[in-house]
Structure 1
């Protein structure tokens, strides 16, 4: 069901063989959204508890996947999982370059990510997601696909965006 006052668009661009640029753009009544104050980039856990933009990466056919969280404050987090919600640990990666821009009726959060050489392979799949918290505390959960009755960004069937292999 569409949100009554906002929309979310995401743009994905390859940056060579190892990187991606992600842009999340929320448009509409952005004054109803709880947005953390802009600060220095820092790795922080628990970003998903308020407005946060996420990308999940599955490389190859195995059960392992990575999760990256990006906040409008420029805080970020990255995790590796061995399988569905199992074996969670920090993902070692270069700190992403996070850019935040806002206008009267939109806010954009972009990040350049260095995922590694495995991203160039033939079986890279993504789940692009977001948690949007409104100023009254209401949360909505956005994803390219919600495979179950309740939002579950980790669900294997949510990895619906296939990246073409780099020749």
Structure 2
């Protein structure tokens, strides 16, 4: 979400939950560990080279007084070639959600003004830069690079477009986005990338709900570095180890 909007309240600190060894580099360290019981069950891509995927629930900001009852979850994993795959699943009555009409798969500004799935990625823990990705159910997408908090990089060039596939059922919408390795922010160290998972849901009445894996401020702000609570290690770095 590329605006000054959004609400994120700092929850009470929780304990780090170690990831199973089978996740091969996918490590989640939320402030409040999400309950697997509430996580949406999402469809994993049918690829033999995928790392295992884990259900991660996106919850509304604690200050929201009106929010759709729909459940929203994400699965995320690297492919062996370094591409990053995300599968968002919105479940519940879709009639109450305003979904953008289908459009050509191309870059579009302002997608966050309507229902939109998002991910923020920082390449290095100690560097201020990060990248924002927006995926619309319409098929449109956007990528923005930031040198620091909300400071856009005017020289940024999109190296390769993401691919988006949307599947809609009566009470379920799935959006799968694949980010080519060349599109991800480059890291100068072998450490994990820091990831913030989030989304904007627009109700049919025009009200907005801001969902995130972790809300780190007292207003919705997906750019807040404290919301980048998921750590993802590029599998290619592990392959390079002796």
Task: Return the TM-score normalized by structure 1.
Answer: 0.92
What pairs up with 1:44-123 in 2 under 5 angstroms?
Answer: 44-60=108-124, 61-89=126-154, 90-116=156-182, 118=186, 121-123=190-192
Unpaired runs of 5+ residues, structure 2, are 1-58, 61-66
Residue aligned with 2:148, SS: coil
Q: Using the TM superposition, give the Cα deviation of residue 95 of structure 1 relative to its aligned residue in structure 2, in angstroms.
A: 1.3
- Asked if the contact 2:68/2:203 (under 8 Å) is kept, the reply is no
Matched, 1:155 2:224: yes
Match of residue 76 from structure 2: 12
- Asked if the contact 2:68/2:96 (under 8 Å) is kept, the reply is no
Q: How many pairs are equivalent? A: 167
Q: Using the TM superposition, give the Cα deviation of residue 55 of structure 1 relative to its aligned residue in structure 2, in angstroms.
A: 0.6
Unpaired runs of 5+ residues, structure 1, are none
Task: Return the TM-score normalized by structure 2.
Answer: 0.65
Q: Using the TM superposition, give the Cα deviation of residue 165 of structure 1 relative to its aligned residue in structure 2, in angstroms.
A: 4.3
Matched, 1:37 2:106: no
User: Which structure shows the bigger proportion of residues in strand conformation?
Assistant: 1
Q: Which has the larger radius of gyration?
A: 2
- Asked if the contact 2:68/2:209 (under 8 Å) is kept, the reply is no
Query: CA, structure 1 residues 91+31, in 2 after alignment: closer, same or farther (shift >3 Å)?
Result: farther
Query: CA, structure 1 residues 164+68, in 2 after alignment: closer, same or farther (shift >3 Å)?
Result: same
